[in-house]
Amino acid sequence: MIGIVDYGMGNLFSVSKALERLGADYFVSADQDKLLQADALLLPGVGAFRDAMERLPAEMIKEFAKTGKPLLGICLGMQLLFESSEENGFTEGLGLLPGSVRRFPGRTPDGDQYKVPHMGWNRLEFVKESPLLKNLEEDYVYFVHSYFVNAEKSSDVLLAKADYHEQVSAVVGRDNIFGMQFHPEKSSKLGMALLNNFLIMVEERKAIR
């Protein structure tokens, strides 16, 4: 059973519908005791990093992470897994993965301007083998974000990257902690395949617990 964390800042409907289409058993809840009993947690997120950290049941999520059960952050939910963000001033994150979150500068080193937020389809480039990427081919996924994880500080957890004038850490993972900067539920075939691989991984890990 997948627990979707409801802390008032996630696109719960689209994520829930994606899991429904994949035939997954899931529930949406803000009940921390119930969420701790889930086989895996999904942490969605839309909005500002600082606001999210103020609303998030941070200690419960850290406790869940220690169980070894899979945890997947999506979009802002992925950024929250890292150590800090510069959005609206310095804000500490969950610290489950190494690295920081910073804003797209909106200007290349040559002085050319580009649009922020990054909105649209960009191609994933796989970097490391992972259960999330198993049997998949590189393709396009859908991004909506103004902030991104600094890949230089998260190279040990970088599974797939994309390019939007900067190197964007698009899929990250270490041990039982995973994240996707894009919206897999809005990313057509590859996005659904990634979510399905996460569900397969949850079942495999459940079987050996």
pLDDT of residue 208: 80
Give residue 11's pLDDT: 82
Domains with residue ranges and CATH for the chain: 2-208 (3.40.50.880)
On whether the CB atoms of residues 45 and 10 are closer than 8 A, the answer is yes
Q: Which pLDDT belongs to residue 151?
A: 65
Q: Which residue has the tokens 């002085």?
A: 111
CA atoms within 13 A on the CB side of 43: 30
- Give the chain's largest Cα–Cα span: 53
d(CA 92, CA 171): 21
Does residue 117 have a cis bond before it (omega within 30 degrees)?
yes
- The Cα–Cα gap between 3 and 7 comes to 12
* pLDDT, position 193: 98
- The low-confidence residues of the chain, meaning pLDDT below 50, are none
Specify whether the CB–CB gap between 31 and 61 falls below 8 A: no
R_g over Cα of the chain:
16
Q: What is the pLDDT of residues 152-208, one digit of tens each?
A: 666 789 999 999 998 999 999 999 999 999 999 999 999 999 999 999 999 988 888
**Mean model confidence pLDDT for the chain:** 94
Task: Tell me the two tokens of residue 96.
Answer: 């489950």
Q: How far apart, in Å, are the Cα atoms of 67 and each of 37, 80, 142, 209?
A: 10, 19, 31, 10
**Residues with a known catalytic role:** 75, 183, 185
pLDDT at 10: 82
The sign one gets for the Cα dihedral 109, 112, 118, 119 is: negative
